[in-house]
Structure 1
Amino acid sequence: MVSTLPAAALASAGYQRGPALMSPQPPDVKTLPEATALALDKARKLAEQHPDDFGEPWVDPETGQVVLGTVSGTGNRLAADQGKDVLRRPVTRSKAVLEKIKDGAIGQPAADLPDAAAIRMTRIDAEHNRVIVTVNRATDAMLEALTARYGADAFAVEVDPAFNPSKSSRYDDGPHNWGGGAEMTIHRAPSGDVFGCSSGIPVWLPGEKSGMLTAGHCVPTGGYIFNGADTNYMGWVSKNDRENWTDGRGSTLLPGQSVFRGDLALIEIPNATSGYYIYRGSVANPYTAIIGQLAPRRAGLGDEYCNSGFKTGELCGWKVYNYGINVSYSGGETVRNVVAGYKSGKCTGHGDSGGPTYFVMSNGRVQVKGVHTGGSNLDGSGDCREFFTDVWDALDAFPGIFPRVLP
């Protein structure tokens, strides 16, 4: 039975019954010795002739030997005739079953699956006796439907946003609403004044609703948010309970709270979703990364991180040098209880406010750390300071939210 809990709850509870999720890896193709290649070809032909008795054969990368999975007594007998060059191994799914999954999870046979257009490639993972489904974005509904159809251990999901030929830019993001510095056009209430900021961290809201964290000073009186092109509606921020900033003053306390939580706003996305990705890269050539983790703790001294915003793009090389600080901005407003980072080189710029701070993990996914509020030497270079609201303060500020992650 597939759980209907949102990804946030599953991740928080350490729930592991869903399909395996993986990041794309650069190909590492090695030429097989001719004898091995011939033995593999022979095993493949045998499996094709008897698809109900064998799994898909493969070459063990450590031993260099051909492995032929068997699912029946007939398979065991036929495999024994292949000689010492082929190892036998019992498997659960036959080649016939794997091919059925491979063919059924893509194209027209998969048209009834939620978000089927995002499924771009399927292939057999012979070593693990499963199918890998490559998607350019993953949704809970898609994963649950695939799991209900095939079983969680019958396939793995490779999430590769680069497979999307119509991938949005920072400027025209939507309707899946990725974080990481997509440009947002904000119509502040009640004046209707237009303001530009960056999207931050995609989150779950209570009730399995989608949301997005950004900076409170972007929406200090609430308002309506569109993409940078002002063509796709994202959502709205309600005054006071979904933002903690007052123009001319700075950070304010949220209702019922006694601790300042930096500079935050929570966008509710009523008619679309927020994705599991953030934008990385330059302004001119952005790409996306999967949000793989919530920072396991609050930011500490010496932590390294990056930030991303629509004005400057991605900047890495920051190191935390203080936290829990209050900063008085040039306009007289004070941001309270934020983390401070330092680096030399290119600094953040006006318009980067609301973008995320994050750590890039070894697998290419990102660990979200916070939401950018401001810095020093904006739009310049040299000695740079950067200030962000810790993501753990965001969780305390808005109880029940959780970053959208694909662990």
Structure 2
Amino acid sequence: MRRRTIGLATALALTMVSTMPAAALASAGAPRGPELLSPRPPDVKTLPEPVAQALDEARKLAEQHPDDFGEPWVDPETGQVVLATVTGTAGRLAAAQGKDVVQRQVARSRAVLERIKDGAIGQPDIPDGAAVRMTRIDAEHNRVIVTVNRTTDALLRALTARYGADAFAVEVDPAFNPSKSSRSDEGPHNWGGAAEMTIRRAPDGSVAGCSSGIPVWMPGDKSGMLTAGHCIPKGGFVFNGNDTNYMGWVSENDRENWYDGRGSTLIPGQSVFRGDLALIEIPNGTSGYYIYRGSVSNAYTSIIGQLAPRRTGLGDQYCSSGYKTGELCGWKVSNYGVNISYSGGEIVRNVVSGYKSGTCTGHGDSGGPTYFVMSNGRVQVKGIHSGGSNLDGSGDCREYFTDVWDALDAFPGIFPRVLP
């Protein structure tokens, strides 16, 4: 990204230091504004698997001790995983991670960064806050990047007063307009990957169309299917194949994490947002070991051969599949732990962001799986598609999905149906 720093004398003048709270003033330092970033297509290198595994372990450690660690990252110069430490406890824990992990002291913990990431988006008390469309952690610089589709003095002043100028950077992208994504007649197979599902939502009985996702085992030897929470935000009944075959049901709150008009919600008893998920219980049948692939008009299936061995990392390549656009491959992960403000104002929290050029996902693909195609032709499931940018179009595409490991944490006891 091309970077530039602005000051109070510019057209994007920010609040005077005297108006900032003490904590923000201490963080901001000199009276200046946040760094402005110009958007450009992501250029993320795929990590060697040992490094990706080490980063995954570091992320788990930071999640378990969010007040002691910052967000870890991979040093682009050395290729080593960097554990950002805030406290002495973090330093002692980091020392036990091995020689391939280095420490770096930072000012803001993961917990602080998460609060900024969540607090800078979707807040009605922030002037012109609707311009904020995405927030994500910039681990290397120990800050949050706030993506906006327009800038105003009031918005920049409010964010700076609240967090301090060095706690965030602003990426200005006027074309950024992500939206939720909304294979026909799959019949009673209950396979994942894009059979169109007709969803009769509770309590009003309204109808939505989405894609089936990842078939799973549920506790008690029951069958289930993962899909997107925004497809069925208050629970309801699901029919597979043009409203002709009853699939199952979703109970409100404990098996979906979406609130219409607001976005991601917390699963009861949990403190981490888990993207955009719903778990369908299939009471009178089973979910299969297959997902649909190929085009909408020429679909075929592949066996689910593996659960992704770790959370999705930067540079990972993957495919998506939905009933509207079929299989789309060539996606590459550009970020994780991202908050996105969709065009209707709802916010999906803690999703993976991918990009590619060519055909984009479409309305109706929501709930379909994301996956990696293994050398034996079977698939390794990675997550559940939520939405994207440039829907039903082509060119510069963005895609957002919930990591399958977040689904396992959201619904304890489930596991993807696999045939290794």
TM-score scaled by structure 1? 0.58
The amino acid that maps onto 1:238 is S
Instruction: Determine if the alignment matches structure 1 residue 342 to structure 2 residue 342.
Output: no
Question: Superposed, which structure 2 residues align to 1:145-224 within 5 Å?
Answer: 170-224=183-237
Matched-pair contact (CA < 8 Å) for 1:205–1:400: yes
The amino acid that maps onto 2:315 is G
The amino acid that maps onto 2:192 is G
Shift of 1:181: 1.0
Question: Superposed, which structure 2 residues align to 1:2-401 within 5 Å?
Answer: 170-401=183-414
The amino acid that maps onto 2:353 is A
Matched-pair contact (CA < 8 Å) for 1:174–1:234: no
Shift of 1:171: 1.8
Matched-pair contact (CA < 8 Å) for 1:358–1:368: yes
Query: Aligned with 1:393: secondary structure?
Result: helix
The amino acid that maps onto 2:203 is P
What is the rounded CA distance, in whole Å, between the counterparts of 2:242 and 2:344 in structure 1?
A: 28
What is the rounded CA distance, in whole Å, between the counterparts of 1:300 and 1:227 in structure 2?
A: 33
Query: Aligned with 1:299: secondary structure?
Result: coil
Residue by residue over 1:287-342, the C-alpha shift from the partner in whole angstroms, topping out at 9 and shown as x without a partner, is 00000000000000000000000000000000000000100000000000000000
Q: Number of residue pairs matched?
A: 238
Matched-pair contact (CA < 8 Å) for 2:254–2:268: yes
Shift of 1:175: 2.1
Moved over 4 A (4+): none
Structure 1, unmatched stretches of 5+, are 1-169
What is the rounded CA distance, in whole Å, between the counterparts of 1:212 and 1:228 in structure 2?
A: 15
Q: In percent, how many aligned pairs have the same letter?
A: 86
Matched-pair contact (CA < 8 Å) for 2:239–2:248: yes
Residue by residue over 1:64-96, the C-alpha shift from the partner in whole angstroms, topping out at 9 and shown as x without a partner, is xxxxxxxxxxxxxxxxxxxxxxxxxxxxxxxxx
Query: Aligned with 2:230: secondary structure?
Result: helix
What is the rounded CA distance, in whole Å, between the counterparts of 1:380 and 1:176 in structure 2?
A: 30
What is the rounded CA distance, in whole Å, between the counterparts of 2:298 and 2:189 in structure 1?
A: 19
Shift of 1:391: 0.1
Structure 2, unmatched stretches of 5+, are 1-182
Residue by residue over 1:143-173, the C-alpha shift from the partner in whole angstroms, topping out at 9 and shown as x without a partner, is xxxxxxxxxxxxxxxxxxxxxxxxxxx3222
Matched-pair contact (CA < 8 Å) for 1:326–1:334: yes
Shift of 1:228: 3.0
Shift of 1:378: 0.2
Query: Aligned with 1:396: secondary structure?
Result: helix
Query: Aligned with 2:303: secondary structure?
Result: strand
Matched-pair contact (CA < 8 Å) for 2:187–2:241: no
Residue by residue over 1:177-215, the C-alpha shift from the partner in whole angstroms, topping out at 9 and shown as x without a partner, is 000111100000111111000000000000010000000
Shift of 1:227: 1.3
Query: Aligned with 2:209: secondary structure?
Result: strand
Residue by residue over 1:344-391, the C-alpha shift from the partner in whole angstroms, topping out at 9 and shown as x without a partner, is 000000000000000000000000000000000000001000000000
What is the rounded CA distance, in whole Å, between the counterparts of 2:189 and 2:216 in structure 1?
A: 12
Larger Rg over CA atoms: 1
Shift of 1:229: 1.4
Matched-pair contact (CA < 8 Å) for 2:197–2:238: yes
Query: Aligned with 1:383: secondary structure?
Result: strand
What is the rounded CA distance, in whole Å, between the counterparts of 2:197 and 2:242 in structure 1?
A: 8
What is the rounded CA distance, in whole Å, between the counterparts of 1:172 and 1:196 in structure 2?
A: 12
Deviates more, 1:364-373 or 1:174-183: 174-183
Query: Aligned with 2:188: secondary structure?
Result: coil
What is the rounded CA distance, in whole Å, between the counterparts of 2:408 and 2:218 in structure 1?
A: 11
The amino acid that maps onto 2:304 is I
TM-score scaled by structure 2? 0.56
What is the rounded CA distance, in whole Å, between the counterparts of 2:203 and 2:406 in structure 1?
A: 28
Matched-pair contact (CA < 8 Å) for 2:360–2:393: yes
What is the rounded CA distance, in whole Å, between the counterparts of 2:308 and 2:195 in structure 1?
A: 21
